[in-house]
Each structure stands twice: as structure tokens, then as C-alpha cells.
Structure 1
């Protein structure tokens, strides 16, 4: 009976990760709508320049993030030698995702004429509130779990500081990007409005996905570590380790799923008016 309850508990803890992946799957529909709206209009010359400028900026800054990740790998090899082999992929991922966040937080302001009086969109027009608040809650949970393990001496100082600093910095960059996308006035020319909406939608989903991944992957690792710790397993049926292991697997699987959706959002907004020429 205890084993059955443990299996049911394991499955139940996996459900939130499945629901999160499902929510990001639905977000792909929002991307299709926003991208399709751009194809239905012919943007102004300034709108086309804005699309090219934004795509170039994002590509350049993400390349800087990749170079920072490579530099981090080299530094880990110099400092830790062969012990650094397990850090190569995490360091590269962190560099790439921080590059994504920095690119969105520093995007150049479009130069088109804004509406008078100034009009600004609502947050729900850019991204689902569920995805946004899930990101924020996950960061807080990850920071709390990291600090708790650090306080109990389960984590060394370097690992704890990294696990606290990276999600916190990523969250700050995401909030800056989200705020900039929210307060920027909409363009005056109606042909540029779909372009503007698509750019805001892309930014909101990119930063939310990047921070979600940077919260889920370390959270899953920490939960797995706590769940398989022999000192934390008691005699008989102890459901806490089962819940921790299930939560760890769920967080890692959800993080990988969100990362897959993030890759699809990296493609820049494009306009070639295919719907008008057909």
C-alpha cells in the first residue's frame, strides 16, 4: 500500500510540469497570431527598419552571451581542471540565456512616430498572466530552496552564490524588459501597430521563458540532490524523499520543455507581406 501511495505521489508531483509545458504549447498559438498579423499588413519604411534593427541587435547581444559562456567554460577549466567537465553545459546555457535577457532588456526604442495622446497596451495583450506569475513564483521558490540548503550546510558557498545570483540577475533583467515593453507608446501609423504588438509579444515570452528555465533547472537539481541524500531517508515509507525526487524530475523535464519552446521564439519577427502578394 505504501508503494502505491508513493507512486501516486510521484505522478501527482509531475502534473505541474506537464501543465506548464501545455501552457507554453498554447503560447505558440499566440506567436502564430502575432506573426500572422504582421504578414497581413505592409509596414512603413520605418517599421521595416525597426524589424531589421531589432533582429540585428538581438543576434549581436546573444552572440555576446555565447562568448561569455565560452569564457566561463575556459575559466572553469583553468580553475577546476578535470572537475569542471560537468559545468561546461550549465555555464554555456547560463551565458546564452543571460544573452537573451540582456538583448531584450536593452532593445533600441523604435523610431516611429507614436500616437497622440500616448496609448499603451495592457499586459494581458502580450503574455498570459499565468506564465508570467509562474515564472516569478518559480524564481522565489528556487531562491528559497537554495538559501535553505545553504543555511543547513548542504551547499558550498560557490555553488550557493551562483544558484542565488544567476536567477536573481535574470529576473531583474526580465522585469526591466517587461516594463519597457509595457510603457512604450504604440505607433501612430496603423500599419506599424501589428509590428509593434509582435515585438512586445516576442520580448515578453522570450524573457519569461529564459527566466523560467534558469529557475527550473537549478531547482530540479537541488530537489533531486535533497531527495537522494541517504541522510534524509528514514526507515519504512518516507514520502518526503519521493516527493523531492518527483519534484526534481518534474522541474528538470519542465525546464527542458520550456527551453524547447524558447528556441522557437528566438526567430525574429519578419514581414514579407506574403498574404498580400498571394
Structure 2
């Protein structure tokens, strides 16, 4: 009976990760709709210039993130020698995600005329509120878990600041980017509205996905470690806590990898073929 309970609990705790992956799969449809609206519209010259400038800006910042990741790997090799090999993938991943977040949070403001009186979109029109609040909840859960393990002595000071500081910084950067897309007024020219909506939609999904991955992967790792440590203890009766922690860890890791896969789909910049059609 105890094994059955453990199996049922393990499967049940995998469900949230599956649901999160499905939600991001459905978000791909929103990307298709936004991109299709841009293709059908004929943006103004200012709108086309904005598309080119935004794409170039994002590319530069993502390249910077890649360079930061490589620099972090080199620094880890210098400090830790061969022991740093286990840090190469996490450090490079953090650098790449940092490039995505910084690129979206620092996007230059479009130079087209703004609507008067100013009209602004709602967050729910750009990205699913469930995805945004899940991102915030995962960051909070990761910080609480890291803090609890640090107080128990399971995490060293350096490790704690790494696993807590990186998700916190990613979340704050994502919130800045989300705030920017909400406070900027819509363009005055109706032909540029689809371009503006697509750019906002891209930014909202990119920062939400990047911050989610930054929190989900360390959160899953912490849960797995806590579950495995508890599993080594000798207890009387049935103790489902280790099973719950391990299942939650697997779920978080799987969800983080799934969101990372969907994140790649949003990295392609918004494009318009209107000039080619006109020619």
C-alpha cells in the first residue's frame, strides 16, 4: 500500500510540469497570430525601421549574453580547474538567458507617433496571466526553498547567493520589461498597431519564459537534492516526503526544459514582408 501511495503521489506531482508545458505550447498559437497580423498589414516606413532596429538590438544583447556565458566558463576554469566542468552548462545557460532578458528590458522606444489620448494594452492581451503568475510563483518558491536549505546548513553561502540571486535578478529584469510594454502608448497610425502588438507580445513571452527557466531549473535541482538527502534517513512507517520532493524536482526540471524549448521559438524576431509584396 505504501508503494502505491508513493507512485500515485509521484505521478500527481508531475502533472503541474506537464500543464505548464502545455500552456506554453498553446502560447505558440498566439505567436502565430501576431506574426500573421504583421504579415497581412503594410507598416509605415517608421514601423519597418522599428522592426529592423528592434531585431538588431535583440541580436546584439543576446550575443553579449553568449560572451558573458563564455567568460563565466573561463573564469570558473581559472578558479576551479577541472572541477568547473559541471558548471559549464549552467553558466552558459545563465549568460544566454541574461542576454535575452537584458535585450527585452532595454529595447529602444519606437520612434513613431503615439496615440492621443494615450491608449495602452492590458497584460492579458499580450501574454497569458497564468504564465506570468506561474513565473512569479516559481521564483518565490525557489527563493523560499533556497533560504530554508541555507538555514539548515545544506547550502553554502556562495551556492545560496548563486541559486537565489540569479532567479531574483532575472525576475526583476522581467518585471521591468513587462512594465515597459504596458506603460508605452500605442502608435497613432493604425498600420503600425499590428507591429507594435507583435513586439509587445514577443517581449512579454520572452521575458516570462526566460525568468521561468532561470527559476525552474535550480528549483528542481534543490528539490531533488533535498529529496535524496531525506531518502537516506531511516524512519518508521511510510515517509512520502522524499518521494514528493523528488517528484517535484523532476517536474520542475522537465517544465524548465520544456519552457526552454518553447523559448527558442520566440527568439526569431518579428518580420514583415510588406516591402517585398509591394515590389
With normalisation by structure 1, the TM-score equals 0.97
1:192 aligns with 2:192: yes
* 1:1-278 superposed matches below 5 A: 1-229=1-229, 230-232=231-233, 234-273=235-274
Please tell me the root mean square deviation across aligned C-alpha atoms, in Å.
Answer: 1.3
Q: Spell out, residue by residue over 1:122-178, the C-alpha distance to the aligned partner (whole angstroms, 9 max, x if none).
A: 111100100000000000000000010001100111111101110111011000000
Gap change, CA 1:151 and 1:133, over 3 Å in 2: same
Cα distance in 2 for residues equivalent to 1:276 and 1:233: 71
- Residue 233 (structure 1) shift: 5.4
Cα distance in 1 for residues equivalent to 2:11 and 2:247: 8
Moved over 2 A (4+): 230-237, 273-277
Gap change, CA 1:54 and 1:232, over 3 Å in 2: farther
Unaligned runs of 5+ in 2: none
Paired residues, number = 277
- Residue 235 (structure 1) shift: 4.1
Checking the alignment, whether the CA contact within 8 Å between 1:40 and 1:275 is kept in structure 2 is no
Cα distance in 2 for residues equivalent to 1:15 and 1:155: 28
Q: Spell out, residue by residue over 1:43-66, the C-alpha distance to the aligned partner (whole angstroms, 9 max, x if none).
A: 000100000000000000010011
Cα distance in 2 for residues equivalent to 1:73 and 1:123: 37
Cα distance in 2 for residues equivalent to 1:101 and 1:39: 26
- Residue 274 (structure 1) shift: 9.4
Cα distance in 2 for residues equivalent to 1:39 and 1:225: 48
Cα distance in 2 for residues equivalent to 1:274 and 1:222: 51
- Residue 238 (structure 1) shift: 1.3
- Residue 276 (structure 1) shift: 6.3
Unaligned runs of 5+ in 1: none
- Residue 231 (structure 1) shift: 4.6
Cα distance in 2 for residues equivalent to 1:137 and 1:2: 31
| More off after superposition, 226-235 vs 92-101 | 226-235
Q: Give the SS at the match of 1:228.
A: helix
- Residue 107 (structure 1) shift: 0.2
Q: Give the SS at the match of 2:109.
A: coil
Checking the alignment, whether the CA contact within 8 Å between 1:122 and 1:182 is kept in structure 2 is yes
Gap change, CA 1:248 and 1:274, over 3 Å in 2: farther
Checking the alignment, whether the CA contact within 8 Å between 1:226 and 1:232 is kept in structure 2 is no
- Residue 275 (structure 1) shift: 11
- Residue 240 (structure 1) shift: 0.2
